[in-house]
Amino acid sequence: MIIGEISTAPLDKGIHLHEYVKAAVSAIKNTGVKYKTSAMSTTFEAKDINEFLRVVRDAHNAIINMGSKRVYTIVKIDDRRDVDATMETKIKGLE
């Protein structure tokens, strides 16, 4: 299981970006992966690297499809293979 994190936004659309971020989150939701949005990013679970990259591609392209000519996307990958890690087990490990 891969636990991924994405933060994406256009660089050419001013300072009010919530509509663009909402489109990216909607694209993530439409992929069917389990996800959680926070103030600065969205964390999600993917079964493999192909699914992870599809989620990133769809979120990134959602902003491009709204007319942005420059999109900045940051991703993190936690690809753990020794246990079945999830977003919840990572949080429980902190408690």
- The tens digit of pLDDT for each residue in 24-50 reads 999 999 999 999 999 999 999 999 999
Q: What's the pTM value of the predicted model, to 2 decimals?
A: 0.91
- The single-letter DSSP state of residue 45 is E
For residue 87, give the amino acid letter.
M
Angle between helices 49-64 and 18-31 (to 10 degrees): 150
With beta carbons less than 8 A apart as the criterion, state whether 62 and 73 touch: no
Q: Which CATH class is domain 2-92?
A: alpha beta
Q: Give the pLDDT confidence of 66-83 residue by residue, as tens digits.
A: 999 999 999 999 998 898
Asked if residue 52 has pLDDT above 90, the reply is yes
